[in-house]
Every structure is written in structure tokens, then in C-alpha cells.
Chain A
């Protein structure tokens, strides 16, 4: 991966609420806002912070499966609906399963690096609740190879990561792993309670750790090795952020201290048609995250906070190992010891991550960047953590499919 040839910044982040079970305003029986609403809300909120649509050169939207969740394709055509000022300007929709949001960011970064744009509006969106979970599982399964759908579980992706969890239990011990997974869940809930847009913001369980530990996986009703608390929920949300050059930052009138600089990024894909080599390792995450760190010229011990793709708690634990924070087989202990909690050695997913904040599949990558932007610029409100001076970097890891597409980005306050 070549070094960044030009400074790239992100700013003006915005998240809609992540709507779904858990939010008090969510009622599955009542009509809810459609995908247009989310695109509009996130887009307009970002434009408002950057002096309007006239300042935008190009737009990108990341989305996974609106064509099936919402029977809607051609999402780039929605940009002029956000603001008439975006009409007759370039826009593109990108897709890489649950890494679609990350691809939206990577595409924006490349546009700025390519100097075809100084200001790119980057959005990510998914509205999943129109479809019941049992059918949503079919749609999400398209992030895998369709030739393998038939032999897969009814809940295809939980099935895939259940197999990963099962392999981990067998290799490293059931109880210690379950403890790590329960702690991952508890951290997610505790962090989400500090962010008013999070899906678990209204969660009042006094003992999420105990609840998760007590809930044993049951293959008869769900999958063999995961309980529902090990899984991210079904979410409707959009996130938006602006990606710009130094010139772009001046144009939109945002001070550098209110922006984060993209120091480096990694982007890699693995063969969709092949099974993972080792179920207890996230090979592509490992590769792309190290590529990002190398591209940025830093090491993991200089990173102050990480937003990682915990679509399942086991994915969080495996990411800890992929990053080298813990040795193989020790990620669960690392998490259970509280090292990834907001006050721990390496605070991860400080607004709840996918399990706590929500997982609007195609929007998640952008949401992660917004959280890092908030944390590094002191805009995280009640969820704000302290970023140590000697570890000023933030890292995102956004994964599509079963460790197939990964975008990882290193940020620093501008």
C-alpha cells in the first residue's frame, strides 16, 4: 500500500439513532421511517455543519442490501433529494456487505487522494426492520457465497460465527471464552447507555454480565454456540461524515482541531468461495489492520482507542488477537479482565459497537469513523473517554462477510 500522498481529514460526523428492538420508540407494529428518511437526516445534518451542499464535490453512499430489505436500488440517486445542491454532481453507491460503510470511507479517501475532489460527502445506511429476522437472515447471507447457502444455518451468519466460537471453545476452553464473551456484551451495553443514539441506550439491566453469562447457547432454538446476546441486533440507521483535503477543510470553514486526520488505511479482501483457513483467526482483519498501522507508520501500542466490527462477541475477541493485543487463545481473558472496557488498557467500541450501538450493516463503517472523530475531538458527550497524549491515534476495523472484506483506518486529531 502506497503512503498517503496528500493530507486527508474527516469531520462533521453525524449519526441518526439506531432504531430497532431495545429503543423505546420502536414498535414493530407501527409504520416507521423508510430508507429515504435516514439518508436525508444524516445527509442534511452533515451538510449543515459544512456550509451547505455547494461545498461538496462528490458523494459516496455505502449500503449492503436495500434492494432486498427495502426493494430499493440505485441509492446514489438519492443525493439530490438530500439537497438540490448535490444535483448534477458525481455520486456513487458502493457495496461490500457489512464493510459497505468502510468502502464508502475508503472511496472518499481515494477521491481526495486522487485530487478529483476536495470535499466528499460519505454516507452509510441500512434499514433492516421492514423484514422479519428469519427472512433478514436470508438477505444477510448474501454476504457469503450463495453456493453454500443451502448447507448453511437458517440464521446463516450467526451459524458461521457459531462455528468460529465452537472451534475457539474447543481449542481454548468453554468457560473462559464464555466469560470473555459475556464481558464483551456487558461493555457494549455500558458504553451504549452513554450515547443517546445507541440502540441499547434505554437498556436498564443492572447486571448485563451476569445475564449474558447465564444465557447458554441453545442450538435447538438458535445456533449451537452463540446466544442472542452474543449477536448484534437488527438495526435501522444512517451515519454521515465529510472526507476532505486541507483545501477542502478551509473551504468548509472547519478548524483542524475539529477534524481528524486519516494517517493511514488498509483494505483487503479474501476469496469469498473459500472457507477460513483457521476458524479461530480473523486473517483478513489481521492483514488489513496491520496494513493500516504500517501505512500510518505507527504500532498498536500508540493507539488510544479502537472501533472494531463486533457483529458477534466472538468477532470482538478474535479482533483483539488479530491486533496483537493478546496472544492467540488469550483474547477472551484479555476482554474478561476488563482491558477493552472504557477505562481499560485499550478502550474499544466506546459508544457500544455493533452489539450496543447497533449494526445497520451498510452504515456501520461510517458510524465507526464518526465515533473515532467524536472521541479524538472531544465531542463524544457522556461517552467521552480520555485519549492519552502518548497514544493519540484511533483505529477502525470494518468487516464484510465472514472476514472477507476489511477496511481499517488510522486517525489522529487534526
Chain B
């Protein structure tokens, strides 16, 4: 089966979810572009978008329409060539509309699993629940040919367990996109000892066509991305509690401070608590619970997460992509308040922000915003100057930041030492391309 043939019938499970919808979009566009090739004229390309939620699927189609328009607007020059023989399509308007219709007509939404039975490739992007994944994949396996391959988007469950329990020997691999899949360049590729070479080859070709950066990870729960993020988050949670105790301040103030340190002082796109909210407190907690049993010498769990969930505060996102409130409360994408876990209410930033900022101390003048580093040619030099200043500053903020930076490095090295990542570069690539960090965690800035 050629690359094009394999992509003639594909299924995405959990297509209406946050990750599933992005995977579906990228795959639909890839398939649509294949279908436009002269040699594929007249062949049917079908992408089954399967989800339990009809409302979600309806929302998915709207999402696709908007996103495909944006994609089409960026490649109109190419599309004009593809539609050169269509005399009825003259203006860019006509061509873009036709392309949107073309992509959408490839996508067949469905709420029943039977739709997947003729697929050559199944992407699994349902919630992080091993039993559910195994159940769905087993059922498809029982009803499809031996030639069907399975890609799971799990970010934490070891692939070999799914492989074994679903009876998919050699036919499955981990193809882990980062959120949002349409934007983040990274894909973690996880094979098992059994994964057939041709499955891996196809995965690499597919990733290349999607212009993704592939980082191979070994098959350990959490892989590289969550292996780092979860431990980094744990450090943040512990630091917040320790800070509250040491300074005798309410926890919400400490959460604000650690969030600020991890964003402004560490020059990251968002602070650690905002990132936990972005991913979802429930998802973070769940991933930790998946990882924890595989790490006997470590406790990958934190009672603050459980407490937040008990109080019904979960973070995550609305289907519109807007941020739900979690540790922090958001207005127009900006943080406006922090959850007080004792009083179970949000406390407005303006009531305590100044006091906390004073405790942290001023940032040195060499400070640089994360966004401005994106196009900086001398990024390393600028960061080195800033972090060097932090090391000698002596303020509370600087002290917390340096300790955080060191811990982040330690986590990165641990991932290599324990055999999760092949090397330091892979760890850094994951954090740079999957988490959009300005610099890799394994560096010399904080030594």
C-alpha cells in the first residue's frame, strides 16, 4: 500500500476534542491535497471523524471551515495551479471556496465506531484512559483487516501496554502532537519493540508532509514532553507551598509569585500555573496518575491538584479555545485573579499584586520578554546576560528563578539518564518546539 493509498481511508477517534480536532484538520488538508494530484483524480478520500458528541462534531465542522479558509488563503498561489483546468473557478474567491468545500467533503462525521472499519489508518485521540483506548482499538481491530495501522496520540500511557492489551502487535505507534496540533511543530514518535519498520516509515513521511519536527521518545509513561512538564509542574506546586509557609503568606499569593517567576524571570510563554490551567488541572492530575505507578522512586502526584478538583476548579478550555478559570482567573486571556483554596473564591490581583511584586524585587534592566526573544538573532547572548544578572541579584524572585532553572535542567538530564530520551538535544527540542520555550531546559544559564 502506497502512502497515498493508505491515506485514502482514515479515522480519527475523539475527533471533536481539543487534540482530535487539530489532528483531523491537518489530516483532512493532507488528504485533500493528495486528492488534488492528477494521478489521484476520481479516487475517493474519506476521513471519518468519530466522536461520542454530536454537538462536538457539529462544532468541529465549523472549526474546520474557518481553519481551512485560513490555510487556503495562505496557499492560493498553489491552489490556482491545482485548479488550472477548472474554467469555472476564476477568482481567488472561487478557488478558496471550492477548496474549503473539497476539504470538508472528505470529512465524514460519525458517532458510531463502525465508520472506522474500512480505514487503513486510525488516529486515536480520546481521553487519557488506557482502558477506553484499549476497548475502542480492540473493537476496530476485530473488524478490520490486518493492514490497518494505529496511531495513538496518548501523552502518557506506555504504547506497549496498549499494543498488548488491544492485540495490535507491530501495528501501533505513539504519534503525539502538541497542543494545538495545527500550530505546535512538535510530534513525539514512540515505537514499541514490535512496531514494524514500515509503520514507522509511514509515520515519518506523514510527519514530514505536515512539516512537523519529529523527536523519538522511548516508551516510558509520560515520554519526554510530559516527563518534563509534569515534574516541572510538581516543582512549581511544591515551591508555592514552601514559599507560603516560609513567608507566612496565603497560598494564593505564593501561587501568583511562582507563576510570575516562571513566566517573567524564566522567560517562558506562560507561567507554570497558567500552563497547568491551559492543559487542564484534571488532565495534569490524570497524566500524573498514569505516570506515577511506573516511577517507584518518585512521587508524581500533588495534593493541591486533588483539592482543586474537589473544589470543582478544573481549568482547560472552552470549545472556542478560550481559557477556563483554574488556579488563575482569566479575562480576555489575561490573568485577573488567583484561587484562594481556603476560602474557595478568587482574589483579585489588584488587592495583592503590588505587595507580592515588592517581595520578589525588581527585575534587572537586562530583562527580556519571551515574545521578543522569538526573532532575536543574539538570543543566547541576551539570555545569558539576563540570567547572569539574576544569579547575582539576591532578590527573592531571582533566587526562586535560579532554583527553578536548575531543577528544570535536572529533570531534563534525568530524562536522558533514565533512558526516556535518547539525548539532551531531544529534550531541548521537545521543550523548544512543543512548549514554545525560548531555550532548552538543559543549558548552562543557571549553573
Interface residues of A (CB under 8 A from B): 132, 134-135, 137-138, 141, 146, 149-150, 153-155, 220-222
Is B73 a contact of A132 with CB atoms below 8 Å?
yes
* Complex contacts, A137 vs chain B, CB 8 Å: 92
Is B76 a contact of A150 with CB atoms below 8 Å?
no
* Complex contacts, A141 vs chain B, CB 8 Å: 91
* Complex contacts, B76 vs chain A, CB 8 Å: 134, 154
A-B contact list, 16 entries, CB within 8 Å: A134-B73, A134-B92, A134-B96, A135-B92, A135-B93, A137-B92, A138-B91, A141-B91, A149-B90, A150-B90, A154-B76, A154-B77, A154-B79, A155-B77, A220-B77, A221-B77
Interface membership of B87, Cβ < 8 A: yes
Is B93 a contact of A154 with CB atoms below 8 Å?
no
* Complex contacts, B90 vs chain A, CB 8 Å: 146, 149-150
A52 to B381, alpha carbons, bound, how many Å? 63
* Complex contacts, B79 vs chain A, CB 8 Å: 154
Is B77 a contact of A153 with CB atoms below 8 Å?
yes
Chain A to chain B: the 7 pairs with minimum beta-carbon distance, closest first = A138-B91, A154-B76, A154-B77, A134-B73, A150-B90, A138-B92, A154-B80
Q: Which residue of chain A has the shortest Cβ distance to B87 in the bound complex?
A: A150
* Complex contacts, A135 vs chain B, CB 8 Å: 92-93
Q: Which residue of chain A has the shortest Cβ distance to B94 in the bound complex?
A: A138
Give the one of A135, A146, A154 with max B CB within 10 A.
A154
Nearest CB of chain A from residue B91's CB, rounded to whole Å: 4
Interface size bracket, B side: 10 to 19
A196 to B79, alpha carbons, bound, how many Å? 40
Chain B, 89-106, CB within 8 A of any chain A CB: 90-93, 96
Q: Which residue of chain A has the shortest Cβ distance to B70 in the bound complex?
A: A132
* Complex contacts, B92 vs chain A, CB 8 Å: 134-135, 137-138, 154
Nearest CB of chain B from residue A69's CB, rounded to whole Å: 13
A75 to B351, alpha carbons, bound, how many Å? 55
Q: Which residue of chain B has the shortest Cβ distance to A150 in the bound complex?
A: B90
- With beta carbons under 8 angstroms apart, the residue of A138, A155, A220, A221 that contacts B93 is A138
A134 to B96, alpha carbons, bound, how many Å? 10
A153 to B87, alpha carbons, bound, how many Å? 15
A369 to B93, alpha carbons, bound, how many Å? 35
Nearest CB of chain B from residue A406's CB, rounded to whole Å: 26
A327 to B280, alpha carbons, bound, how many Å? 69
* Complex contacts, B91 vs chain A, CB 8 Å: 138, 141, 149
Give how many A-B residue pairs fall within 8 Å (CB-CB). Answer: 28
Is the contact region of chain A dominated by helix, strand, or loop, or is it mixed? loop
Nearest CB of chain A from residue B59's CB, rounded to whole Å: 22
A222 to B74, alpha carbons, bound, how many Å? 10
Q: Which residue of chain B has the shortest Cβ distance to A141 in the bound complex?
A: B91
Q: Which residue of chain B has the shortest Cβ distance to A221 in the bound complex?
A: B77
* Complex contacts, B93 vs chain A, CB 8 Å: 135, 138
Q: Which residue of chain B has the shortest Cβ distance to A136 in the bound complex?
A: B92
Nearest CB of chain A from residue B372's CB, rounded to whole Å: 16
Per-position contact with A for B54-92: 1 when CB-CB < 8 Å, else 0? Answer: 000000000000000000010011011000000100111
* Complex contacts, B87 vs chain A, CB 8 Å: 150
A59 to B77, alpha carbons, bound, how many Å? 41
A222 to B80, alpha carbons, bound, how many Å? 13
* Complex contacts, A220 vs chain B, CB 8 Å: 77
* Complex contacts, A221 vs chain B, CB 8 Å: 77
* Complex contacts, B96 vs chain A, CB 8 Å: 134
Nearest CB of chain B from residue A218's CB, rounded to whole Å: 11
A134 to B90, alpha carbons, bound, how many Å? 13
* Complex contacts, B80 vs chain A, CB 8 Å: 153-154
Give the one of A138, A149, A155 with max B CB within 10 A.
A138
* Complex contacts, A153 vs chain B, CB 8 Å: 77, 80
A221 to B80, alpha carbons, bound, how many Å? 13
Given contacts A141-B91, A150-B87, 8 further A-B contacts (CB under 8 A): A134-B76, A134-B92, A138-B91, A150-B90, A154-B77, A154-B79, A220-B77, A221-B77
A261 to B77, alpha carbons, bound, how many Å? 47
Nearest CB of chain A from residue B92's CB, rounded to whole Å: 5
Q: Which residue of chain B has the shortest Cβ distance to A220 in the bound complex?
A: B77
Nearest CB of chain B from residue A310's CB, rounded to whole Å: 24
A150 to B89, alpha carbons, bound, how many Å? 8
A222 to B75, alpha carbons, bound, how many Å? 10
Q: Which residue of chain B has the shortest Cβ distance to A133 in the bound complex?
A: B73
Nearest CB of chain B from residue A139's CB, rounded to whole Å: 9
A255 to B73, alpha carbons, bound, how many Å? 53
Nearest CB of chain A from residue B73's CB, rounded to whole Å: 5
A99 to B425, alpha carbons, bound, how many Å? 58
Give the one of A134, A135, A146 with max B CB within 10 A.
A134
A361 to B76, alpha carbons, bound, how many Å? 23
* Complex contacts, A149 vs chain B, CB 8 Å: 90-91
A149 to B87, alpha carbons, bound, how many Å? 11
* Complex contacts, A154 vs chain B, CB 8 Å: 76-77, 79-80, 92
A155 to B90, alpha carbons, bound, how many Å? 13
Nearest CB of chain B from residue A128's CB, rounded to whole Å: 15
Nearest CB of chain A from residue B352's CB, rounded to whole Å: 32
A146 to B92, alpha carbons, bound, how many Å? 13
Nearest CB of chain B from residue A211's CB, rounded to whole Å: 14
Q: Which residue of chain B has the shortest Cβ distance to A152 in the bound complex?
A: B80
Q: Which residue of chain A has the shortest Cβ distance to B73 in the bound complex?
A: A134
Nearest CB of chain B from residue A143's CB, rounded to whole Å: 14
A154 to B80, alpha carbons, bound, how many Å? 7
